[in-house]
C-alpha cells in the first residue's frame, strides 16, 4: 500500500511517535488527518517547528509542518473518550477527503504503578483512552476502511507475562488493544477480507518521547538508551507496504519487523540511535510466546449475539 492519493488518520499525532508517523506518511504521499486533544495557534509558535516532545507541539503545529513541507494535512481535535467526538472526527475526514485508507491509533494514557497505588479513577482513565478509545476509532472508521480495503496500525505490545509487572492497570488496557488486533484480524478472515489488515507495533528499544524527557533531564546519560522516533514510523510504513496476509493480526516489534524480509531486511540500526555511536538496550524479549493452540481452527458451535438480536428485532 503506497501513499499516492491515499488518506491516513493518525489519532494521537501531536507529539513524539505520533507526530513522526504523521510527518513521514505525508512525505510518502498520504494526505494526513492529525488528531489529538491539543491545539494551538501554530502561526505564533516561535521557534518553529517546536520541540516535538514539548507541550508546544500540537496537532496545529504538526499540520503546519506538513503543509510547509509541501504535504497535505488537516488538524482535527478529538478526545478519544468521547465516542460521538470520534465519530465526528471520522465523518469530518470523509467530508474533506472523501475516503479513508489507513487508521493509526497512537493515543495512550500512561500510569506505571502497583495495583494498590493505582486509584480507581486512574484505572478508568487508562481503559477509556487506551482500549475504549481504540475500539471507538475502529468502529467509526471500519465502514470506510472496508470500502477501500484499508489498513489499521495500533500502538500496542506483544502479549507476554513480564509486561504486566509493576504496571498492571496500564497492561490491562494495552494488552486489551492487542487482543482487539488479533480478534479483528480473525473477523477479517471470517468475512473473506484477505486484503484488509490490522497490525500492532511496539518499540523493541525505548524511543525518545515526552514520557522519557523527565528521565533524561535528571540523568542526561540515559539518552544513550534511546532511539529516534523515525524507527517507529519506518516500521509503520513497512507494515503498510507489506502484503495484508503477512501482517494482519500480528503483534510486531518495530526492529524485528524491519529486520524481516517483508519489512525490508534492515541490518544497520545505527542511524536510529538518539546519541550517535551508541547501541540502545533492547527492552523487549528476544523471543515471544506463540498465542495459537493446536485446536486453533476448532470453534465448536459458532455463536453470533448480533445476529440473534437482529432476528428478535424483526419479530
What pLDDT score does 204 carry?
98
d(CA 11, CA 5): 19
d(CA 113, CA 134): 23
Catalytic residue, chosen from 30, 97, 135, 170, is 170
Question: How many C-beta neighbours within 10 Å does residue 159 have?
Answer: 19
Q: What is the DSSP letter of 225?
A: G
Query: pLDDT digits over 112-131, tens only?
Result: 999 999 999 999 999 999 99
CA atoms within a 13 Å half-sphere pointing along the CA-CB vector of 178: 19
d(CA 117, CA 171): 15
The gap between the terminal CA atoms of the chain, to the nearest Å, is 44
Among candidate residues 244, 235, 162, the one with its CA nearest the CA of residue 201: 235
Residue 315's pLDDT band, with cuts at 50, 70 and 90, is: low
What pLDDT score does 313 carry?
66
What pLDDT score does 298 carry?
85
Interhelix angle 230-241/16-27, rounded to 10 degrees, is 50
Query: pLDDT digits over 192-251, tens only?
Result: 999 999 999 999 999 998 888 877 877 888 899 999 999 999 999 999 999 999 999 999
Please compute the mean of the pLDDT values over residues 146-157 and round it to a whole number. Answer: 97
CA atoms within a 13 Å half-sphere pointing along the CA-CB vector of 38: 19
Is 170 catalytic? The answer is: yes
CB 198 within 8 A of CB 242: no
CA atoms within a 13 Å half-sphere pointing along the CA-CB vector of 163: 20
What residues pair up with 73 in beta bridges, in sequence order?
32
Query: pLDDT digits over 279-310, tens only?
Result: 999 999 999 999 999 888 888 888 888 876 76
What pLDDT score does 300 carry?
82
Amino acid at each position: 500500500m503506497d501513499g499516492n492519493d491515499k488518506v491516513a488518520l493518525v489519532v494521537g499525532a501531536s507529539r513524539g511517535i505520533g507526530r513522526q508517523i504523521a510527518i513521514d506518511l505525508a512525505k510518502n504521499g498520504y494526505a494526513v488527518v492529525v488528531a489529538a486533544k491539543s491545539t494551538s495557534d501554530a502561526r505564533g509558535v516561535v521557534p518553529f517547528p517546536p520541540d516535538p516532545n514539548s507541550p508546544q507541539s500540537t496537532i496545529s503545529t504538526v499540520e503546519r509542518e506538513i503543509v510547509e513541507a509541501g504535504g497535505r494535512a488537516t488538524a482535527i481535535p478529538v478526545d478519544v473518550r468521547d465516542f460521538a467526538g470520534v465519530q465526528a472526527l471520522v465523518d469530518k475526514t470523509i467530508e474533506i477527503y472523501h475516503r479513508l485508507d489507513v487508521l493509526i491509533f497512537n493515543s495512550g494514557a500512561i500510569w506505571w504503578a502497583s495495583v494498590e497505588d493505582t486509584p480507581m479513577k486512574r484505572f478508568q482513565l487508562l481503559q477509556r483512552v487506551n482500549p475504549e478509545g481504540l475500539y471507538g476509532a475502529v468502529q467509526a472508521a471500519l465502514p470506510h476502511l472496508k470500502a477501500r480495503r484499508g489498513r489499521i496500525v495500533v500502538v500496542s505490545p506483544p502479549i507476554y507475562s513480564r509486561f504486566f509487572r509493576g504496571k498492571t492497570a496500564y497492561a490491562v488496557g494495552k494488552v486489551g488493544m492487542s487482543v482487539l488486533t488479533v480478534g479483528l484480524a480473525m473477523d477479517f478472515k471470517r468475512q473473506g477480507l484477505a486484503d484488509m489488515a490490522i497490525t500492532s507495533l511496539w518499540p523493541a528499544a525505548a524511543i525518545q518521547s515526552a514520557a522519557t524527557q523527565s528521565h533524561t533531564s535528571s540523568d542526561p546519560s540515559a539518552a544513550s538508551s534511546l532511539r529516534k522516533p523515525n524507527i517507529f514510523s519506518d516500521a509503520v510504513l513497512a507494515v503498510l507496504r507489506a502484503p495484508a496476509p503477512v501482517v494482519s493480526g500480528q503483534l510486531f516489534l518495530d526492529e524485528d519487523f524491519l529486520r524481516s524480509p517483508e519489512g525490508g531486511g534492515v541490518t544497520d540500526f545505527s542511524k536510529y540511535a538518539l546519541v550517535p555511536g551508541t547501541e540502545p538496550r533492547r527492552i523487549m524479549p528476544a523471543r515471544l510466546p506463540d498465542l495459537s493452540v493446536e485446536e486453533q481452527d476448532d470453534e465448536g458451535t459458532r455463536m453470533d449475539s448480533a445476529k440473534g438480536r437482529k432476528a428478535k428485532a424483526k419479530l
